[in-house]
Structure 1
Amino acid sequence: MGCGMAVDANRVIAGGVLVFVEPETFKKFLELKEKPLVIVGETGGFKKVKLTMTTYDGALIITRGEVELPETAIVVTAKELSVGK
């Protein structure tokens, strides 16, 4: 990744606001930060869904599918995602 930091987590649970947006709106959130942190992966379960996520002022911004990311983005690829409980 080039940021000099490696993170290994089996499970992360966080409380906060989840905001689901369309891919076009998601790109606008990415433009608000110089080096946005982006998490990409698939939800588990019967029907897998690709998700792309970033944070903004304490909220988790989520869109379905893959989004073209800026070159400056710090990308974390999750083996499996769970949004909710």
Structure 2
Amino acid sequence: MGCGMAVDANRVIAGGVLVFVEPETFRKFLELKERPLVIVGETGGFRKVELTMTTYDGTLIITRGEVELPETAIVVNAKELSLGK
């Protein structure tokens, strides 16, 4: 997974407007920005789910699984990920 910059985060808590999309639609959102911010991590208790997220106009766009990212993406690798806690 290529990226322009990678950042590790101890914990990411997301709140507000969450939009779940398919990976193909997610990639289209990434194309809308020159340097998209992307958060990658796992959420869930017993059954872990890998999520990839980006922001667009104040909305958190989410897809399940790993997505091929543009080289210009700023990537945050979350050690712990919580949605709406």
The interval holding the TM-score normalised by the smaller chain is: 0.7 to 0.9
Post-superposition offset of 1:15: 3.6
Give the aligned CA root-mean-square deviation in angstroms: 3.0
Gaps of at least 5 residues in structure 1 are: none
Cα distance change on mapping 1:73 and 1:7 into 2, 3 Å: closer
Whether contact under 8 Å (1:17, 1:60) holds in the other structure is yes
Of the two structures, which has the highest relative contact order with CA contacts closer than 8 Å and spacing of 6 or more?
2
Post-superposition offset of 1:44: 3.6
Post-superposition offset of 1:16: 1.6
Cα distance change on mapping 1:80 and 1:44 into 2, 3 Å: farther
Post-superposition offset of 1:83: 1.2
Indicate the structure with greater strand content: 2
Give the TM-score of the pair, scaled to structure 1.
0.83
Instruction: Point out the structure with max Rg over C-alpha.
Output: 1
Post-superposition offset of 1:5: 9.8
- The sequence identity of aligned pairs, in percent, is 92
Cα distance change on mapping 1:22 and 1:54 into 2, 3 Å: same
Whether contact under 8 Å (1:19, 1:62) holds in the other structure is yes
Give the TM-score of the pair, scaled to structure 2.
0.83
Cα distance change on mapping 1:82 and 1:4 into 2, 3 Å: same
Whether contact under 8 Å (2:12, 2:78) holds in the other structure is no
Shift >2 Å, 4+ stretches: 1-15
Q: Any idea what SS the aligned residue of 2:76 has?
A: strand
